[in-house]
Amino acid sequence: MRLSELQGAFRDHLLGGDASPTLTARVLEDGIPVARRLAVYRNNVGHALMEALGAAYPAVRRLVGEDFFAAVARDYTRAHPPTRGTLIGYGEGFADYLDKLPAAARLPYLADVARLERAWLVAYHAPDAAPLQASDLAHLPPETLPALRLRLHPSAQLLATHHPVREIWAVNRQPGPVPAMRLGEDPDYFLIIRPRLEVRIRPLSAGEYTFLRALMDDATLTEAFEAALAVAPDLDLQTHLHRHLTGGSFAGWQAPPREGDNRP
Amino acid sequence: MYERDQPGLPARAGIGLKASHYREILEGNPDPGWLEVHPENYMGGGGPPHHYLGLIRRDHPLSLHGVGLSLGSADIPDPAHLQRLKALVERYQPGEVSEHLAWASHGGVFLDDLLPLPLTRETLDHACRNIQQVQEVLGRRILLENPSTYLRFRDDEYPEAEFLVELARRSGCGLLVDVNNVYVSACNHGLDAAAYLASLPAALVAEIHLAGHSVEDVDGRELRIDDHGDRVAGAVWSLYRDFIQRVGPRPTLIEWDTRVPGLETLLTEAGKAQRLLDDCQVDRHAAV
């Protein structure tokens, strides 16, 4: 058997398949049954991948408990093993997987907690950039502002969840007892961002979320304002824009085309 | 004083750099001989890992010790992974770059473990090709580490030490000798750890690793598991002492990856290795 076939058979066994006779026939028994020798590797791989998933989703792990998490992680990591030689970024589809998992149906908010944890992790490892300051825009002629395109910080993640999960997330990322919580019905909107070293989770109103989402999709300030006002006619856009400018939500801007890219 | 740009690693005792120790190393001003990280933990775009590693790198020699290249695969190394490693090598200018005689990926699936290889001529060809490719892309020699193993294949054509020496000679790589792994594998397969170490030419040995392991009972037979979760075992210390007496002082790492203790404990273990390195230098001078 060629090396490639051996490694294919070994991999399939590590991911839950039976040990093929071509694999077991090649392993030296030498006092310890071949199955037990292979089990050392299978346990190591299972444990490593479970820990990688658990490190990415600590609140989910705590919410469902160790036994349940181990079972879900075993099935998930076998069905969706890592494809890159680093585990940074592993577990991308875990929230959608939980959404469809019948065993998790009694915790309808679980997938949303996973989405928030995922956004936190993506922001944590995102490329760094110096946040834009309000003063960076001060020299722009006022008539250029309506067509200005503000670029969100490279770490910025916008998230709309079906369940209000911020408090559930927060208490389950800390050690200590979990207090009783009353869950509302409204969806939650978040900006998850790391302007410098620490990841911030900023709750947003629906209008504010729509405004930032439009900017992320490359809208001009005017277009983004209009989109936000369609959702929330009373929205105080000046205040929100100021808050995001001072809070480091942006990392650059592009003036109208005739002036070219004026990123300072 | 430490010069950031001096080549290689100092022949002193170093420790693995853990995220939980970033601040203490920056603020407490300890003096480990050097630090080692897994490059895979620094393959994100930015954020705290790069921030702290960048600051720490100013004051300490660094080694990048990979677990994700899968040099023993029949597949060639993942070009994207290799480029990420190259970017880290350029950014942090490590004294050494090392990997393992093992495989971890097959057919685009990464298993995050150091899996055992049949020690055959076919494997030698694949590993040699993969190491040479990595060295070409990185523009430097790498070191290859002997793994802990829990099984062997029936069709092995070489003892492991001989396989490593042949691979180093053919590919031009150096050897990172993990004395704990030598001991763990020798116990698991009923082989002689001292004879293994004695067969490695001193000129190929560029770095040494030491770590703790655990012992499991499998149907009444002992199986040693390389879990990097404890102090270095007594038998491993004495193999290490004899080994450096023969090959000379080498950069030596204390690895501790599970149940990571406080920085003080790591530095205490490194201190033991440092004393043996110091003794070894004194003895060698005395012998001249």
Q: Do A6 and B75 touch (CB under 8 A)?
A: no
Interface check A135 vs B, CB under 8 A: no
CA distance B74 to A92: 28
Domain boundaries, chain A: 1-107, 111-264
pLDDT tens string for chain A (264 positions)?
699 999 999 999 999 999 999 899 999 998 899 999 999 999 999 999 999 999 999 999 999 999 999 999 999 999 999 999 999 999 999 999 999 999 998 998 999 999 999 999 999 999 999 999 988 888 888 898 899 999 999 999 999 998 888 888 888 887 777 777 766 667 799 999 999 999 999 999 999 999 999 999 999 999 999 999 999 999 998 899 999 999 999 999 988 765 445 554
For residue B163, the chain A residues in CB contact (below 8 A) are none
Task: For residue B224, give how far its alpha carbon lies from the nearest alpha carbon of chain A (Å).
Answer: 11
For residue A86, the chain B residues in CB contact (below 8 A) are 40-41, 43, 68, 81, 84
Average pLDDT rounded to a whole number, residues B96-124: 98
Select the more confidently predicted residue: A264 or B192: B192
CA distance A228 to A213: 9
The token pair at B179 is: 């004395």
Q: Do B44 and A88 touch (CB under 8 A)?
A: yes
For residue B114, the chain A residue with the least C-alpha distance is A41
pLDDT surpasses 70 at B1: no
B42 assigned to some structural domain: yes
Interface check A138 vs B, CB under 8 A: no
For residue A80, the chain B residue with the least C-alpha distance is B109
B67 assigned to some structural domain: yes
The token pair at B43 is: 């393959």
Give the pLDDT of residue A264. Answer: 46
Give the pLDDT of residue B286. Answer: 63
What element of type H or E holds A34?
Answer: helix A34-56
Interface check A45 vs B, CB under 8 A: yes
For B138-163, the pLDDT digits (tens) are: 999 999 999 999 999 999 999 999 99
For residue A118, the chain B residues in CB contact (below 8 A) are none
- Facing residue for A52 by CB, picked from B78, B112, B225: B112
- Predicted TM-score (pTM) of the model is 0.93
pLDDT surpasses 70 at B2: no
Give the pLDDT of residue A179. Answer: 72
B141 assigned to some structural domain: yes
> Which of A7, A50, A124 to mutate: most B Cβ within 10 Å?
A7
Query: Helix, strand, or coil here: A32?
Result: coil
B208 assigned to some structural domain: yes
In A217-256, the residues whose Cβ lies within 8 Å of chain B are none
Give the pLDDT of residue A247. Answer: 93
B282 assigned to some structural domain: yes
Q: Do B152 and A30 touch (CB under 8 A)?
A: yes
For residue A50, the chain B residue with the least C-alpha distance is B112
For residue A81, the chain B residues in CB contact (below 8 A) are 109-111
Name which of A116, A118, A73 is nearest A92 in CA terms: A118
> Which of B100, B113, B188 to mutate: most A Cβ within 10 Å?
B113
Residue with tokens 């490693």: B85
B3 assigned to some structural domain: no
* Residue span of the structural domain in which B217 resides: 13-287
pLDDT surpasses 50 at B81: yes
CB A196 within 8 A of CB A146: no
The number of residues in chain B equals 288
CB B213 within 8 A of CB B249: no
Phi, psi of B209 (to 5 degrees): -115, 145
B146 assigned to some structural domain: yes
B153-190 burial: b if 16+ Cβ within 10 Å, else e: beeeebebbebbbebbeebebbbbbbbbbbbbbbbbee
Average pLDDT rounded to a whole number, residues B88-114: 98
Select the more confidently predicted residue: A170 or B91: B91
Task: For residue B205, give how far its alpha carbon lies from the nearest alpha carbon of chain A (Å).
Answer: 27
Give the pLDDT of residue B285. Answer: 65
For residue B80, the chain A residue with the least C-alpha distance is A84
The token pair at A159 is: 């998230």
Q: Do B44 and A52 touch (CB under 8 A)?
A: no
Interface check A182 vs B, CB under 8 A: no
CA distance B212 to B255: 8
For residue B119, the chain A residue with the least C-alpha distance is A3
For B249-284, the pLDDT digits (tens) are: 999 999 999 899 999 999 999 999 999 999 987 766
**Alpha-carbon distance values, A96 to A73, A163, A190 (Å):** 14, 15, 18
Please state the ipTM of this predicted complex.
0.94
> Which of A1, A2, A6 to mutate: most B Cβ within 10 Å?
A6
Task: For residue B112, give how far its alpha carbon lies from the nearest alpha carbon of chain A (Å).
Answer: 6
Facing residues of B254 across strands?
B15, B210
Interface check A4 vs B, CB under 8 A: yes
Q: Looking at the 3D structure of chain B, how many domains does it have?
A: 1
pLDDT surpasses 90 at B17: yes
For residue A23, the chain B residue with the least C-alpha distance is B153
Task: For residue A44, give how far its alpha carbon lies from the nearest alpha carbon of chain B (Å).
Answer: 7
Specify the CATH number for the domain of residue B99: 3.20.20.150
For B45-79, the pLDDT digits (tens) are: 999 999 999 999 999 999 999 999 999 999 999 99
In A11-30, the residues whose Cβ lies within 8 Å of chain B are 11, 14-15, 25-28, 30
Q: Do A10 and B106 touch (CB under 8 A)?
A: yes
